[in-house]
């Protein structure tokens, strides 16, 4: 069957978001199934209970109109073994104009609603919580991994990209799920500053970045160290101990401040309250405090020099209380 322009557009957005990162097992045994329908009609909610503005429910199902202002109508069902989502792209006139003018923003929002937010919410039903952090191995030592916390724009992706160049693996750019022990990456293309290697052909993204293919991605890693990233004014990068409570606050605050998750909290609460499945609020604070209570916590202050290898700091932590690079 020939795909419509609408389906081709949404299929392209999904393919870019997955970026060839799914394993054969994930393709053949999915626990989340998203179907994009070639239909511009609203979902029939006759006889459904009104949940809130533009949302309706009946046992095990929720319909959300213009979810997260993406132009997508969703029918979400939880009655089967996995999560089933039917999607119809029917943006209002203002949404069509915004999608045409702000193409990068529109694609990121559609990708979040169709891929990332469902994965995050379904992960919550398995005892995990979303975190806006980066998790990577220490260079080529894939047996030791570090969880990097800090607000958006502080340089987590910069560190991860530098470690990837040194042979490391990472779970994702800056979005993952964790149960307090393991970190599972959320599928998303890598984003690098425009002009860096691998970015010339990538799609332009906000904040003067472009998307680039992954070179060393792991579905999951078990961090052995928490690094709280801070801005500094000195030339050198410096490392100092960090109190677990302060590290946990940094993880939680960075997650709630993240632009990528700004619309997620309403999305998750609507699905949980509407379907009756799971908690209406993810256990972000609990997971953050579990991580910081069981792992060594350090504060890494950025310097003006290029990013030094994280392994050099990690080795130093075994011998003393601080280091500079």
**What averages of pLDDT result for each successive group of 10 residues across the chain (325 residues)?**
54 58 59 90 96 96 96 94 93 65 74 94 95 92 90 88 91 93 89 62 66 85 95 88 97 95 96 95 97 96 85 61 50
Q: CA 261 → CA 72, 118, 294, distances in Å?
A: 17, 12, 26
Question: How does 90-112 read in b/e, with b if 16+ C-beta sit within 10 Å?
Answer: bbeeebeebbeeeeeebbbbbbb
Q: Supply the pLDDT for residue 221.
A: 96
Q: Which residue is associated with the tokens 């132009």?
A: 71
Q: Residue 207: what pLDDT?
A: 61
On the CB side of 123, how many CA atoms lie within 13 Å of its CA? Answer: 24
Q: How far apart are CA 230 and CA 254, in angstroms?
A: 12
The residue to which tokens 């799920």 are assigned: 177
Residue 184 has a pLDDT of 96
Indicate the pTM of the whole model. Answer: 0.85
Confidence (pLDDT) at 1: 42
pLDDT at residue 248, as a whole number: 98
* CB-CB neighbours of 24 under 10 Å: 7
Of 321, 310, 256, nearest to 146 (Cα)?
A: 310
Residues, the chain = 325
Q: Is the CB of residue 101 less than 8 Å from the CB of residue 91?
A: no
Is residue 182 classed exposed, middle or buried when 0-12, 13-18 and 19+ CB atoms within 10 A define those classes? middle
Rounded Cα distance between 112 and 188, Å, is 9
CB of 7 closer than 8 Å to CB of 107: no
Pick from 134, 131, 193: nearest CA to 159: 134
Rounded CA separation 178/59 (Å) = 29
């Amino acid at each position: 069957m020939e795909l419509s322009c609408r389906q081709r557009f949404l299929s392209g957005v999904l393919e870019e978001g997955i970026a060839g990162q799914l394993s054969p097992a994930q393709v053949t045994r999915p626990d989340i199934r998203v179907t994009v329908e070639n239909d511009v009609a609203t979902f029939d909610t006759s006889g459904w209970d009104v949940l809130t503005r533009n949302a309706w429910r009946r046992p095990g199902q929720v319909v959300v109109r213009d979810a997260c202002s993406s132009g997508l109508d969703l029918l979400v069902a939880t009655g089967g073994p996995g999560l089933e989502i039917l999607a119809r792209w029917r943006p209002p006139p203002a949404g069509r104009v915004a999608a045409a003018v702000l193409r990068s923003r529109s694609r990121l929002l559609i990708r979040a609603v169709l891929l990332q937010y469902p994965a995050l919410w379904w992960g919550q039903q398995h005892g995990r919580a979303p975190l806006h952090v980066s998790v990577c191995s220490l260079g080529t030592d894939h047996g030791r991994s570090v969880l990097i916390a800090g607000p958006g724009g502080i340089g987590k992706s910069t560190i991860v990209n530098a470690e990837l160049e040194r042979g490391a693996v990472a779970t994702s750019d800056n979005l993952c799920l964790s149960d307090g022990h393991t970190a599972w990456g959320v599928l998303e293309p890598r984003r690098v500053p425009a002009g860096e290697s691998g970015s010339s052909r990538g799609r332009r993204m906000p904040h003067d970045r472009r998307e680039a293919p992954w070179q060393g991605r792991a579905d999951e890693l078990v961090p052995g160290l928490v690094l709280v990233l801070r801005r500094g004014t000195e030339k050198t990068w410096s490392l100092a101990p960090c109190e677990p409570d302060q590290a946990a606050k940094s993880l939680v605050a960075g997650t709630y401040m993240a632009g990528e998750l700004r619309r997620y909290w309403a999305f998750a609460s609507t699905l949980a309250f509407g379907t009756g499945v799971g908690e209406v609020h993810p256990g972000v604070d609990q997971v953050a405090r579990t991580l910081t209570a069981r792992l060594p916590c350090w504060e890494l202050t950025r310097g003006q020099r290029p990013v030094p290898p994280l392994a050099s700091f990690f080795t130093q932590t075994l011998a003393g209380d601080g280091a500079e690079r």
